[in-house]
Amino acid sequence: MPELPDLPALIADLDARTADRGDLDRLEAAEEIADELTALGARLVGYYVEQARTRGNSWTDIGGHLGISRQAAQQRYTPARFQLTLGDLISTGALSRLTDRTRTTLVRAEEHAKRLGGATVEPRHVLLAMLDDGDTLAVQALARLDVDVAGLRATLDTADAVDAPNNAVGSRDTAPHVAAPHVAAPHFAAPHATAPPLGTPARRLLEAALAQALKLNHNYIGTEHLLLALASVHTDPTAQLLADRGAGYDRVREAVHAVIDEYLRTR
């Protein structure tokens, strides 16, 4: 096991970094470090839960190993799973079906979430990232539907759209989670700053994309499958945004089939 920092080491480090601060500033810094350590611990547990699930272990297996029920295992570990970043998920092997282009799209979605101040990566960030690459089958499908890509991007690319839960594009992340890193400008630099995790809707989006790929008998997840998934989750504001522009699920499915057929003919 790696050697963990003990309390005296943490105290010495914090005191050294805040030597010119007062007692209350040091207390605030200690709170920030505690939040970071809690979040880091949750990610550590979530990583190995995700890896176990990816390698075929059921919730019953996990619960049985710990002497608890399947339901108790799910309740105990689901919050930790939803602390994982894109990089964490890729490392566990959970996203092995993604094409390189889809993986790049998700990396850009992560960047958009950070740029726009999102606490988590959401479907709207995925759609925004998808629009960055006009050569994808997803964007080609939208072009077939005469979707105003520039206008769609402008609607998505606003901080207000990300931050306001009742905005036409925004949505409230309903993932259960443990303490997250302090987001206010700290007096003391956070020791484990990370990329934002994938929010619950984004995780569900990836599951829906896999389902869409399997419907087409594809063993990979491309941007076209992400687009189908985005349009299929009718309760997500991003799906409504697409539908309002003539890209509801049925029309998107027809367009995706057409661009796939065209791609296969020209290979």
Give domain status of residue 221, yes or no: yes
Higher-pLDDT residue of 69, 179: 69
pLDDT for position 267: 78
103-140, pLDDT tens digit by residue? 999 999 999 999 998 899 999 999 999 999 989 999 99
- Cβ contact 179:83 at 8 Å: no
Residue 9: φ, ψ to 5°: -65, -40
Mean pLDDT of the chain: 84
How far apart are the C-alpha atoms of 169 and 104, rounded to whole Å? 23
2 in a structural domain = no
DSSP string, 123-157: HHHHHHHHTT-TTSHHHHHHHHTT--HHHHHHHHS
How far apart CA 60 and CA 69 sit, in angstroms, is 7
Per-residue confidence band for 69, with pLDDT thresholds at 50, 70 and 90: very high
Does residue 58 carry a pLDDT above 60?
yes
Please give the structure tokens belonging to residue 46: 């979530």
For residue 59, which amino acid is it? W
Q: Which two tokens stand for residue 106?
A: 């998700």
Domain containing 50 equals 7-266
Q: What is the mean pLDDT of residues 33-57?
A: 90
Instruction: Please report, for the domain that includes residue 61, its CATH number.
Output: 1.10.1780.10
* pLDDT given for residue 168 in this prediction: 39
**How many Cβ atoms are within 10 Å of 11's Cβ, its own excluded?**
13
Q: What is the pLDDT of residue 234?
A: 84
Q: How many residues does the chain have?
A: 267
* Structural domains counted in the chain: 1
> Residue 262 and residue 267: Cα distance in Å, rounded?
9
Specify if 1 maps to a domain: no
Give the pLDDT band (50/70/90) at residue 174. very low
